[in-house]
Amino acid sequence: MSKAVQRYVAFSDRPDGGNPAGVVLEAAGLSDDRMLAIAAELGYSETAFVCGTDIRFFSPLAEVPFCGHATIATAVALAERDGPGEVVLATVGGPVPVTTRRDDDGRILATLTSVPARIADIEPADLLELLASLGWEAADLDPTLPPRVGYAGAWHPVIAAATRQRLAALDYDFDRLATLMAARDWTTIQLVWREAETRFHSRNPFPPGGVVEDPATGAAAAALGAYLRDLHLVPVPATITINQGEDLGRPGKLVVGIRADRAEIEVTGTAVAIG
């Protein structure tokens, strides 16, 4: 690797929790092929490449338009280098402000503000194929949380399980789901179970990126925020907590801020450097 690659775990303060991401803070001069090769060599679900305030994200298989956990990792890396504050990162989908601060324990907390977020209907045929790929039936779904597709820089179907047990028993057809997601330009599937009004558990299959499951997914968390807001499933303003990665043995926590006066969604978490 010709450029300095840093490794972080996002949405956890433990090296064995959250979601690992690669971060290259000085990516000027790297070709697309080289960035893809670095991401593939690292093997993480995404690696972020920064040139000035421009940021791009590559999975081991392809570029993705936006990645929340790699953005949080990048924000913490920048704060450790330059000090906490605010920077506006230019993503493929638009500007994403990120702010960092130290909490009472000295940890750096990062908050990203997504591009304007929204939802769309999911086509009935796509839902049937998605459920078949997952091995789920209609009875496995929570009837109070209807399937939709959410956008906050990338598209994520939001599918709610009726029980925690259904969410835990994730065993899907990798190739079949990858084909559907590639055809629809979906980044990850936001599978959730609602524990309480503002507390969710989540899992995120990511076969288009060559990854069975993302342990923590900030972009999908923002999409969930838009979903809850636009379907009036939480009173706004609201703060949502998402526990993710538990079923992988990599627990992480994502905090989602939903406001009534803006279309953007805020996602907050920690990150820690790993070897």
Mean per-residue pLDDT over the chain, rounded: 97
The Cα–Cα gap between 14 and 251 comes to 9
Q: What is the pTM of this model?
A: 0.96
pLDDT reading at 249 higher than 90 = yes
In degrees and rounded to multiples of 5, residue 27 shows phi and psi of -100, 10
Report the percentage of the chain scoring pLDDT > 90: 99
Structure confidence at residue 275 (pLDDT): 78
pLDDT reading at 167 higher than 90 = yes
Q: Tokens standing for 51?
A: 């040139």
The Cα–Cα gap between 191 and 195 comes to 13
Residue 88 CB contacts under 8 Å (≥ 6 apart), including other chains: 53, 95, 96, 97, 98
Q: Where are the beta strands (DSSP E) in 103-221?
A: 108-113, 118-120, 148-151, 155-160, 190-196, 199-206, 211-214
The Cα–Cα gap between 227 and 147 comes to 9
Mean pLDDT of 48-72: 97
Structure confidence at residue 186 (pLDDT): 97
Give the pLDDT band (50/70/90) at residue 16: very high
Mean pLDDT of 45-66: 97
Strands 19-24 and 155-160: unpaired
Q: How many CB atoms lie within 10 A of CB 86?
A: 12
Structure confidence at residue 151 (pLDDT): 98
pLDDT digit string (tens) for 95-128? Answer: 999 999 999 999 999 999 999 999 999 999 999 9
pLDDT reading at 3 higher than 90 = no
pLDDT reading at 159 higher than 60 = yes
Closest Cα partner for 152 from 204, 198, 217? 217
